[in-house]
């Protein structure tokens, strides 16, 4: 017990050398690691690693606010996994929210496609000025329907095309995009296996012959597949 007490004291002491705190961060004792993450003398890379396990205590470390003052782009250097854990907290500091707005495109994109990203962040990123960030949201299976509906009306044709070909896109969005002015978007709708048959039927009259042909082919293929399934099903519908 005396050794544990001494280790706890070392972990909490702001004068403990950084290398010693690095060693303490590897201890199995949760209490020791939690003290290390709030110690302002702990090496930054150790803080980021422990922050995945203790995101709330990490925010209590006074050095974090100082790091933000020293580096306005701090969000760019925090590992994505740690950053996601911080963003999932009930209360997220303003400096992190602001940092996310100004983060590098690849950081915002990584957050947008991460399955652990909280909904409030996805709702924010759906308005991101960079199309590749908005496209990343399209393929995040946790993206709320209302965000996908918003992206279905995106001003960027590429984003709408990605929504049109995505198998998780809600049917109302597919129906909307079947009327898109851009033919590549309508083409993607004709190819999407989740597009309703009545929507494919309407696309048969598309002014672009290739889209009309694909819509007709998709209908025929589905009808034949259904017919074969019913013929070979052990419980045939009489």
- Tens of pLDDT, residue by residue over 159-211, are 999 999 999 999 999 999 999 999 999 999 999 999 999 999 999 999 999 99
Give me the pLDDT at residue 1, please: 46
Give me the pLDDT at residue 179, please: 97
Provide the 3-class DSSP secondary structure of residue 4: helix
Give me the pLDDT at residue 233, please: 67
The parts of the chain modelled with pLDDT lower than 70 are 1-3, 229, 233-238
Give me the pLDDT at residue 178, please: 98
Dump the DSSP string for 208-230: SHHHHHHHHHHHHHHHHHHHHHH
Provide the 3-class DSSP secondary structure of residue 178: coil
User: Please, what is the Cα angle at 230 between 225 and 235, to 5 degrees?
Assistant: 150
As given in the structure block, the two tokens for residue 191 are 């190819």
Give me the pLDDT at residue 225, please: 76
Give me the pLDDT at residue 236, please: 56
Name the one residue in this structure whose structure tokens are 């961060």: 25
Among 170, 216, 229, smallest CA distance to 194 is for 170
Instruction: Give the distance, in angstroms, between the CA of residue 111 and the centroid of all CA atoms in the same chain.
Output: 5
């Amino acid at each position: 017990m005396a050794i544990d007490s001494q280790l706890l004291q070392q972990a909490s002491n702001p004068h403990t050398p950084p290398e010693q705190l690095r060693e303490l961060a590897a201890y199995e004792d949760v209490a020791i690691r939690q003290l290390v993450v709030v110690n302002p003398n702990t090496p930054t890379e150790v803080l980021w690693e422990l922050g995945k396990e203790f995101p709330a205590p990490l925010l209590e470390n006074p050095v974090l606010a100082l790091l933000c003052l020293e580096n306005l782009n701090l969000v760019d250097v925090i590992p994505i996994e740690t950053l996601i854990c911080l963003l999932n907290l009930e209360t997220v500091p303003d400096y992190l929210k602001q940092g996310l707005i100004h983060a590098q495109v690849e950081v915002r994109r990584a957050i947008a496609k991460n399955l652990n990203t909280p909904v409030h962040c996805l709702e924010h990123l759906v308005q991101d000025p960079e199309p590749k960030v908005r496209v990343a949201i399209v393929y995040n299976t946790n993206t709320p329907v209302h965000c996908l509906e918003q992206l279905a009306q995106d001003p960027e044709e590429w984003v709408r095309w990605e929504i049109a070909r995505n198998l998780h896109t809600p049917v109302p969005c597919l129906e909307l995009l079947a009327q898109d002015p851009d033919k590549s978007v309508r083409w993607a709708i004709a190819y999407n296996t989740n597009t309703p048959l009545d929507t494919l039927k309407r696309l048969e009259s598309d002014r672009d012959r290739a889209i009309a042909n694909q819509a007709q082919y998709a209908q025929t293929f589905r009808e034949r597949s259904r017919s074969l399934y019913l013929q070979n099903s052990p419980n045939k519908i009489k």
